[in-house]
Chains A and B, each alone.
Chain A
Amino acid sequence: MIYEGKKKIWAEYQKEIPEDHYFYVRSCIRQSFFPASEATFLDITRNKLGKDIFETEHHTTCGGIAYHSDAIPQETAMTIIARQFALMKKYGYENYVCSCITSFGLYCETLETWREFPELQQKIAENLWKTCHLEFAKPKFLVHASDLIFKYRMQIAAKSKYKLVNKNTGEPLRVVEHIGCHYSKMFPSKGVGGAEYPYVLVGMIEAWGGQIVDYPERRHCCGFGFRQYFIKSNRGYSLANTHKKFESMEPFKPDMIITNCPGCPYFLDRWQYVIAETEGKTYGQDGHGIPVFTYEEVAGLVMGYDPWDLGLQTHQVSVEPLLDKIGIPYDPAKKYLGKNGKNLGQPEKPHCLK
């Protein structure tokens, strides 16, 4: 990659990210498959960096996954979103941070559509009042949670215990960054760095000592495809897209993958398992896969969180080879224990994937 050229592109796509005071909205998929990532985000921002990140139990899904599975009308999704924004205002906030990339893209689309068609915005405001008796509002600033970690990346680096560096060779780890499609493919100006070469994860990798891997299918979708995953007979679509990405990145020998979308790390992790178990093919070293992380997990690792507190035991691709490379300590005996050391047994071992 010609780095100077990318810097020029990135300079054109800078978004304003307020320093503090956010209304936080969770992600359906991240809560289900990476709950510790959301807990880590809140712990880092609130407790380590002293930020005001407010959450209420009254928020719900934005409806984005159903909307992109064509299972609810656009007006329904927009009114649910208006309800989320109204809760933000009700609790005294004007900056909105969401954990989900599907949500982020849909919020961007909704705000743009309201701007273009004011009569639709009026209708949604009326829907909101009729159904919820809430006052219509729009965020002053809309950001994704990865935008905030990007914003705080140097503060996190200053508090770090580890770097994304191979402790044996002293070389930076080779990191693939994967951006969720709905982060900036529709509205490049809404994402840090735009759509072709987003900077949001690159900035974190650079700040924490790693080296970016560029590869041909870097911007290709993970393959979620909504209905293409939920219906069993469509799932080949999802698998084929992940397969295409791994075949493309394999020659560049990445040490790890970092993602900002809640769905992508699930698919990039689990489809590696399926490829290994069905075809005997693995993409990491010595029969291992390439470990896939959320940005919260990587931030937590460099800050010295216990890997099992970050939920890394719930990945199907084992993370231990990477922890060993960095020199992060972990206790194998505690990997699958519950709270207070409760014995929960262990998952079966995959047949092929180590």
Chain B
Amino acid sequence: MGKLYDRLMKDYRLREGLNACINCGTCTAICPAAEFYRYDPRRIVDIVQHQDDAQIEELLKSDTIWYCGECLSCTTRCPRKNAAGLIIMALRSLSIQTGLFMESEKGRQMYLLCKDLNSNILNYGYCVYPRSFKYKEHLEAGVVWEWWEKNLEDVYERLGANLEKEGPGALRGIPQKDLDEIKRIYDITGATEMLENVKKAGLKKAEELGMTEEEYCQKLYTECSPKHFNH
């Protein structure tokens, strides 16, 4: 696997995000995730700063690194200009590269995130797209979204969007030539390889559990251990 700290240091986000942490705990005090989850960004930054590969490996296998919401509130308040959020992002990337993300419940969720978000980007050119944002999976979107979903084309037309049509405008159909360029970007920047690896690892796990892909996705979507929470 190579020395994990050295691999982390190749990530520009770590080089930008870790200066000299004084362990004051301001990041943890301000962190929305630390209030909700059993999560302490101060501790994570300290482990990385100590360059202890055994502890870094434990982090990469853990649920802990997946609790952050990447709001980056920690960055504003750090008195030494560290960015705990960027360090977390580098740890997550390394967890995926090493396959260790499969060791934790929250890490395994990468299968769904990669599948859903990237199919929106590669098929439509958007990260979030109303055709794939279903009321039955998003009851919190409200009864107004239920109505909107039933009348999708008409509501978007009423609100001045250009849903799936030619030319500029909200939710326009992005020309295939442009989507092909995005796919080529994925191919040469490592996204395609990453998505294939995450998919392969997820399908292998589903097979081990004797589940279909659909059953496995449902498990990932809803599974939640009480051990994550502060309260």
Q: Are B12's CB and A117's CB within 8 A?
A: yes
Q: Within A217-233, which residues are at the interface with B (CB < 8 Å)?
A: 219-221, 223-228, 230-233
Interface size on B, as a range, is 35 or more
Instruction: Please tell me which one of the listed residues B13, B121, B147, B229 contacts residue A347 in the complex, with CB atoms under 8 A apart.
Output: B147
Q: Within B2-59, which residues are at the interface with A (CB < 8 Å)?
A: 11-13, 15-16, 32-33, 35-37
Q: How far is the CA of A250 from the CA of B191 in the complex (A)?
A: 44
Q: Are A186's CB and B72's CB within 8 A?
A: yes
Q: Are B130's CB and A32's CB within 8 A?
A: yes
B114 at the interface (CB under 8 A from A): yes
Nearest residue (CB) in A for B66 is A227
Instruction: Please tell me which one of the listed residues B76, B148, B181, B186 contacts residue A83 in the complex, with CB atoms under 8 A apart.
Output: B181
Q: Are A61's CB and B126's CB within 8 A?
A: yes
Q: Are A232's CB and B75's CB within 8 A?
A: no
Q: Are A233's CB and B223's CB within 8 A?
A: yes
B150 nearest CB across to chain A (Å): 8
Q: How far is the CA of A76 from the CA of B127 in the complex (A)?
A: 14
A346 at the interface (CB under 8 A from B): yes
Instruction: Please tell me which one of the listed residues A35, A113, A233, A235 contacts residue B161 in the complex, with CB atoms under 8 A apart.
Output: A35
Q: Within A243-279, which residues are at the interface with B (CB < 8 Å)?
A: 244, 270-271, 273-274
Interface centre among A29, A36, A59, A347 (most CB of B within 10 A): A347
Q: How far is the CA of A225 from the CA of B71 in the complex (A)?
A: 6
Given contact pairs A83-B181, A223-B69, A342-B154, A185 touches B76 in the complex (Cβ within 8 A): yes
Q: Which residues of A contact B201 (CB under 8 A)?
A: none
Q: How far is the CA of A122 from the CA of B71 in the complex (A)?
A: 29
B80 at the interface (CB under 8 A from A): no
Q: Are B113's CB and A230's CB within 8 A?
A: yes
Q: Which residues of B contact A228 (CB under 8 A)?
A: 33, 69
Q: Which residues of B contact A76 (CB under 8 A)?
A: 185-186, 189-191
A95 at the interface (CB under 8 A from B): no
Q: How far is the CA of A64 from the CA of B117 in the complex (A)?
A: 11
Q: Which residues of B contact A349 (CB under 8 A)?
A: 143
A49 at the interface (CB under 8 A from B): no
B155 at the interface (CB under 8 A from A): yes
A71 at the interface (CB under 8 A from B): yes
Classify the interface of chain B: helix, strand, loop or mixed.
Answer: helix
Q: Within B85-100, which residues are at the interface with A (CB < 8 Å)?
A: 89, 92-93, 96
B211 at the interface (CB under 8 A from A): no
B86 nearest CB across to chain A (Å): 8
Q: Are B172's CB and A57's CB within 8 A?
A: yes
Given contact pairs A32-B130, A35-B161, A225-B70, A130 touches B113 in the complex (Cβ within 8 A): no
Q: Are A236's CB and B121's CB within 8 A?
A: no
What is the number of contacts between chain A and chain B, taking CB atoms within 8 Å? 255
Given contact pairs A35-B160, A60-B126, A131-B188, A336 touches B142 in the complex (Cβ within 8 A): no
Q: Are A221's CB and B128's CB within 8 A?
A: no
Q: Are B143's CB and A348's CB within 8 A?
A: yes
Q: How far is the CA of A347 from the CA of B142 in the complex (A)?
A: 9
A8 at the interface (CB under 8 A from B): no
Nearest residue (CB) in B for A132 is B181
Q: Are B127's CB and A28's CB within 8 A?
A: yes
Q: Are A68's CB and B70's CB within 8 A?
A: yes
* Pairs across A and B, CB under 8 Å, 9 listed: A31-B171, A58-B178, A59-B178, A70-B89, A227-B109, A230-B116, A316-B145, A338-B155, A344-B155
A81 nearest CB across to chain B (Å): 10
Given contact pairs A31-B161, A185-B76, A273 touches B140 in the complex (Cβ within 8 A): yes
Q: Which residues of A contact B191 (CB under 8 A)?
A: 72-73, 76
Q: How far is the CA of A338 from the CA of B158 in the complex (A)?
A: 5
A120 at the interface (CB under 8 A from B): yes
Q: How far is the CA of A207 from the CA of B103 in the complex (A)?
A: 54
Q: Are A185's CB and B171's CB within 8 A?
A: no
Q: Are B140's CB and A70's CB within 8 A?
A: no
Nearest residue (CB) in A for B91 is A70
